[in-house]
């Protein structure tokens, strides 16, 4: 039995024995030790379920209800926000942080250009715009023309331009609208020449690629059936289908291309090869990179997908094609991935290796011109190489330093591509690269309101509980590092779903660093930094490794003089919110403050809402006895250890999050406030119309992080100054 199984018992007992509370609008003191904060009184239910012989209490089940449809939940949210706002108004330095974050955000930011015909399409934010408009140039140096400005779509700035893709000729622009942070999308088509929208509107699109046919006459997309009235926010995502929409026709006439009604849990996405001749449909069942592939020829006749790869066993990512020869990145026979080709005309043929597996993890690739660009991850930093189509290495793509490079999109017949580069202290800078000549030129470089040379980034490797070496980046002021002085520190982690945490720039993070704080990012197991084995070592039966890695990171930072005995805060979002909730329960003594954001906090019910069923690949299934006991052992909601002193906690979520529904955070916060956890505050900050994170307006981002970092500064001892450091 895991040593953490016992942690499930205190909350189970507390939930079933604590006195029932009524009137969710009232504000009363929960504990004598917390008289300074009068938490909203949260009504307790009597839900107790027998699961595999364990009686599990869930007194706050009612907080799972949709805040927009349940008045009691709505009132609870309002009351919690009132208490949190009142508390944050007393936190010193909050306004100074907000002001500085605004200044650091106020720089021009370009998105990666996409070329279609002779036109270049890209996003550009002048600085503090809530959403980034989309622009177009005729030719690389042509005059800039705004095509789409989402900033006028909603008064609160929370309606965003999401995915977009120009037609192959550049005549039309297909784009998705995201309202209030939801995962649902509505598609529109813009006539680029006239600037007018076409009449058709495509709805109920979610988790979809946008794939134009080769002639620009229509496109492929993925959608779900329209949910029942009032169920759009929490409905399960099943029976996804691929459709084809021809321009000039209503959605009701769209042609169904691919569906699997006998396997409703499969999701499907469509993409079209650069030459417009081949349609590839990729199917998956969860978050694991295990795919089935179907191909169809686009020759004007009926579209009849046929199987290319059967069985959900391996990762397959198409990076380009030369006629019927399709190039893929795959982990078949290569845990750190390799490049192979498949023959679309002969689906049963074995893959042919182009580039073999190596020590560095192959993170991505693309076909540009008549060559391949392959991006590798080496200790969480990007390396890029130029390779011939037969696998022979041409040379390295020159990068400005140690950091993250992304992009490299393009077409097999055009040698031009673009990529961006960023680091913890370098905002995204965009470069143009010619695969034929190997020449790199600057496309867009931001003007900075700070000096990057004032900061240093160190990468170190620390031992986890079982001795595994875990990489961690530590970012701080150069003067602080030179003096080897401990300082208040935020430790960030994710550790799941094969996602790699690589160097990236954040204006809000920089504001913390400028004030003399330290920021550490641990590359925990469960991520993708070192391939399949690293991912496997931090999921399912190995999930506790992730928590051990994070706890060990905190212990290392304290033991080696990076932070003070009472100066460590932890931060994580989504799966990282689960991480923070779990480690705080297991080691509340280690942390002074915690920021669990949009977290998966109820591990026994996560699979019952929206996209939650996909996550069983990493977590396991609550409906299986073995998985149930393991999930219960670390579920943040079920393991709050009443009677122990907890760090200051501010939970963050959004009332319109339909990825990790806010009921997770609502229930967790209610349980924190009901338990005897010492004198520090345990608050919840609930944003309106902000979703899981994507599409969040700039002003809401600044407000949230000013609140969050001022909150942890108070409890880690960081003094926030009014002037720019």
Closest to 571 in 3D by CA, of 552, 544, 599: 599
Residues 6+ apart with CB under 8 A from 64: 605, 609, 661, 663, 666, 667
Q: Computed from CA positions of residues 356, 358, 361, 364, in that sequence, does the dihedral angle turn out positive or negative?
A: negative
Tokens for 584? 């705080």
Please tell me the distance from the alpha carbon of residue 121 to that of residue 291, in angstroms, as a whole number. 31
Of the residues 574, 635, 665, 708, only one is catalytic, namely 574
Instruction: From 676, 649, 682, 659, select the one nearest 80 (Cα to Cα).
Output: 682
For residues 352 and 61, give the distance between their C-alpha atoms in angstroms, rounded to a whole number.
53
HSE, CB side, 13 Å, CA atoms: give it for residue 439.
7
Angle between helices 575-586 and 543-559 (to 10 degrees): 70
Q: How far is CA 72 from CA 7, 420, 671, 672, in A?
A: 31, 47, 17, 19
Q: Helix (H, G, I), strand (E, B), or coil: what is residue 515?
A: coil
Q: Which two tokens stand for residue 172?
A: 């039309």
**Where are the extended beta strands (E) located within 535-610?**
568-573, 593-597
461 within 8 A of 470, measured Cβ to Cβ: yes
373 torsion bin: left (phi>0), alpha (psi -120 to 50), beta (else): beta
CB of 134 within 8 A of CB of 190?
A: no
- Please confirm, yes or no, whether 269 is among the known catalytic residues: no
Q: How many Cα atoms within 13 Å fall on the side-chain side of residue 45?
A: 13
| 692 in catalytic set | yes
Choosing from 629, 638, 682, 692, the catalytic residue is 692
Residue numbers annotated as active site: 574, 692
């Amino acid at each position: 039995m895991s040593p953490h199984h016992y942690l499930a018992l205190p909350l189970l007992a507390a939930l079933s024995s604590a006195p029932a509370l009524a009137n969710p609008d009232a504000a009363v003191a929960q504990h004598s030790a917390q008289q300074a904060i009068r938490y909203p009184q949260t009504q307790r239910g009597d839900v107790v379920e027998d699961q595999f012989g364990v009686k599990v209490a869930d007194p706050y089940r009612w907080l799972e209800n949709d805040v927009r449809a349940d008045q009691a939940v709505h009132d609870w949210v309002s009351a919690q926000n009132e208490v949190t706002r009142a508390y944050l108004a007393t936190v010193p330095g909050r306004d100074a942080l907000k002001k500085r974050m605004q200044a650091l955000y106020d720089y021009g930011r370009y998105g990666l250009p996409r070329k279609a015909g002779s036109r270049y399409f890209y996003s550009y934010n002048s600085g503090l715009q809530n959403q980034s408009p989309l622009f177009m140039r005729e030719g690389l140096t042509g005059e800039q023309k705004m095509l789409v400005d989402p900033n006028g779509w909603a008064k609160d700035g929370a309606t965003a331009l999401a995915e977009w893709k120009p037609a192959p000729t550049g005549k039309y622009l297909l784009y998705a609208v995201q309202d209030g942070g939801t995962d649902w999308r509505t598609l529109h088509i813009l006539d680029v020449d006239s600037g007018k929208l076409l009449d058709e509107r495509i709805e109920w699109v979610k988790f979809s690629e946008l794939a134009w046919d080769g002639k620009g006459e229509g496109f492929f997309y993925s959608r779900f059936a329209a949910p029942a009235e009032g169920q759009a926010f929490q409905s399960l995502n099943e029976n996804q289908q691929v459709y084809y929409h021809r321009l000039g026709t209503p959605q009701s006439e769209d042609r169904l291309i691919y569906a699997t009604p006998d396997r409703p849990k499969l999701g499907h996405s469509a993409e079209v090869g650069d030459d417009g001749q081949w349609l590839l449909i990729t199917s998956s069942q969860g978050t694991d990179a295990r795919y089935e592939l179907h191909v169809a020829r686009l020759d004007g006749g009926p579209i009849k997908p046929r199987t290319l790869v059967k069985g959900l066993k391996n990762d397959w990512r198409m990076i380009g094609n030369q006629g019927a020869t399709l190039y893929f990145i795959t982990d078949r026979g290569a845990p750190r991935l390799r490049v192979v080709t498949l023959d679309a005309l002969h689906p049963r043929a074995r893959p042919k290796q182009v580039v073999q597996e190596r020590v560095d993890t192959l993170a991505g690739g693309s076909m540009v011109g008549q060559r391949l660009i392959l991006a590798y991850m080496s200790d969480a930093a990007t390396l890029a190489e130029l390779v011939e189509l037969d696998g022979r290495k041409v040379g390295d793509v020159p990068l400005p330093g140690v950091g993250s490079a992304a992009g490299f999109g393009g077409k097999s017949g055009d040698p031009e591509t673009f990529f961006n580069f960023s680091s913890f202290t370098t905002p995204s800078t965009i470069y143009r690269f010619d695969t034929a000549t190997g020449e790199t030129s600057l496309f867009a470089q931001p003007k900075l309101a700070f000096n990057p040379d004032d900061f240093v980034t160190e990468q170190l490797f620390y031992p986890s509980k079982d001795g595994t070496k875990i990489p961690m980046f530590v970012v701080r002021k150069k003067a602080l590092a030179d003096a080897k002085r401990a300082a208040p520190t935020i430790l960030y982690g994710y550790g799941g779903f094969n996602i790699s945490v690589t160097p990236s720039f954040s204006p809000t993070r920089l504001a913390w660093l400028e004030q003399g704080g330290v920021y550490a990012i641990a590359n925990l197991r469960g991520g993708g930094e070192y391939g399949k084995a690293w991912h496997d070592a931090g999921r399912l039966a190995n999930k506790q490794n992730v928590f051990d890695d994070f706890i060990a990171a905190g212990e290392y930072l304290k033991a080696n003089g990076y932070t003070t005995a009472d100066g460590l805060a932890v931060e994580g979002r989504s799966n990282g919110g689960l991480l923070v909730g779990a480690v705080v329960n297991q080691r509340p003594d280690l942390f002074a403050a915690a920021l669990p954001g949009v977290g998966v906090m109820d591990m026994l019910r996560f699979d019952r809402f929206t996209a939650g069923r996909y996550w069983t690949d990493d977590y396991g299934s609550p409906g299986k006895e073995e998985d149930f006991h393991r999930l219960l052992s670390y579920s943040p909601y079920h393991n709050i250890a009443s009677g122990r002193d907890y760090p200051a906690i501010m939970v963050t979520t959004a009332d319109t999050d339909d990825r990790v529904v806010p009921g997770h955070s609502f229930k967790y916060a209610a349980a924190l406030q009901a338990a005897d956890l010492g004198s520090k505050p345990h608050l919840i900050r609930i944003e309106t119309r902000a979703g899981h994170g994507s599409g969040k307006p700039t002003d809401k981002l600044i407000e949230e992080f000013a609140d969050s970092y001022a909150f942890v500064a108070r409890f880690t001892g960081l003094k926030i100054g009014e002037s720019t450091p």
